[in-house]
Amino acid sequence: MYAVFRSGGKQYRASKGERLKLEKLEANEGTSIKFDEVLLVGEGSNLEIGSPLLSGSSVSAKVLRQGKAKKVDVVKFRRRTNYKRQHTHRQLFTEVEITAISTGTVKVASRKAKSPVTPKVATKKSTAKKVASKKSATKKVVSKKSATKKVVSKKSATKKVVSKKSATKKSAKKIAVKKVGKKKTSKKSL
């Protein structure tokens, strides 16, 4: 029989007598730990699968030791920018031995059948009040945004003036080039 359980944000498959290295747990060596977040228990075709967890099922384990994993090099490097950072890291772990796996029943949530009608009406009224308060807050934000739009329009007006000045400079350069071109051609004809 084996079980799949969660610990430290990861899922582990274990059977009785196995030794596992889990993410660091706050437990002393020699103490027993019980994992209640069991996702699956069984063997072969007799599998009990939770949705998402099996209620009443657990995995018991004994803490063998606390330790650090092998050293891992961490290198951050960007070419042609004089950027290189080198570090090392040793991940902490807890080694456990699985002592027992207990089965349970599938945990099914049926919220609709249990909830009475009267609390639903109360929740609708409270949400309506929340929506009304949010609308007033958005109106204030809109008025602030219109003020920022005025500032943006002033900036665009200055850009237009700059573009007109640059346009006159360009046209002056074109005229000068044409005059120089005419003078050159007149000398060649003589």
**CB proximity list for 56: less than 8 A, separation 6 or greater:** 102, 103, 104, 105
Q: Is residue 35 part of a domain?
A: yes
Q: What is the per-residue pLDDT across 134-143, written as a single tens digit (0 to 9) for each?
A: 555 555 545 5
Length of the chain: 190
Q: Is residue 18 part of a domain?
A: yes
Let me know the angle formed at the C-alpha of 130 by 126 and 135, rounded to the nearest 5 degrees: 150
Question: What is the structure's pLDDT at 113?
Answer: 47
pTM assigned to the model: 0.52
pLDDT surpassing 90 at residue 25? yes
Total number of domains in the chain: 1
Domain that holds residue 10: 2-65+93-105
pLDDT band at 10 (very low <50, low <70, confident <90, very high): very high
Q: Is residue 54 part of a domain?
A: yes
Question: Dihedral (C-alpha) 171, 175, 181, 185: value to the nearest 10 degrees?
Answer: 150
